[in-house]
Amino acid sequence: MRNVFFVLFATVLFWGGCSGAQQAPQAAAPPAFKPVGNTLQLMQAIVIPAADAVWAVGAEAPKNDEEWAKVRNNALALAESGNLLMIGDRAKDQGEWMRMSLALVDAGTAAFQAAEAKNVEGVMMAGDALYSSCEGCHMKYPPKTAEGQ
């Protein structure tokens, strides 16, 4: 009798394990983005100071690892700011706004890579691309001073 009970128990476990293995695990939903600042605040807090730090390399090249790290970190902030400009209500449209935001990502990435290589010329070239990106965007989407932007 014990053997019969053991065989039945083992069979139930086996079939239960097989049916559970066939079920795909449910993927967790990605976290929702929670933008805090509006576009103007993002520009004032991150983009403008970071761009100024990249452009300053043309006037005075970094002299040591610490100064290069500041340029690199500001360039990274610029690149990631382009991504932030594509999230939620900050995205003015799905066409030109996205293209120009990606141009900011590209210019920031180029400046980041040049700063990593401690390449003054490369940072300056990325700074030129950054300037073109900013100007092109501001021509199409003039900056507003109201809090609603």
CB 123, CB 115: distance < 8 Å: yes
In this prediction, residue 137 has a pLDDT band, given cuts at 50, 70 and 90, of: very high
Q: 147 in a domain, yes or no? A: no
Check whether 7 has a pLDDT greater than 80.
Answer: no
What does the pLDDT average to over 124-134? 97
Note whether residue 109 is domain-resident: yes
- Domain of 113, CATH number, reads 1.20.120
Residue 34 located in a structural domain: no
Higher pLDDT, 26 or 10: 26
Rounded Cα–Cα distance for residues 47 and 126 (Å): 15
How many residues in total does the chain contain? 149
Query: What does the alpha-carbon distance between residue 130 and residue 105 come to, in Å, rounded to a whole number?
Result: 9
φ and ψ at residue 13, rounded to 5 degrees: -60, -45
Q: Structural domain tally of the chain?
A: 1
Cα–Cα distances in Å, from 19 out to 43, 55, 94, 137?
Answer: 54, 62, 45, 56
> Is 2 among the domain residues?
no
- What Å distances lie between residue 145 and 40, 92, 149, CA to CA? 7, 16, 8
Q: Lowest-confidence range among 1-5, 76-80, 98-102, 110-114?
A: 1-5
The reply to whether 48 falls in a domain is yes
pLDDT by residue (tens digit) across 102-117? 999 999 999 999 999 9
> pTM here?
0.76
107 is in which domain, residue-wise?
39-140
Is 7 part of any domain? Answer: no
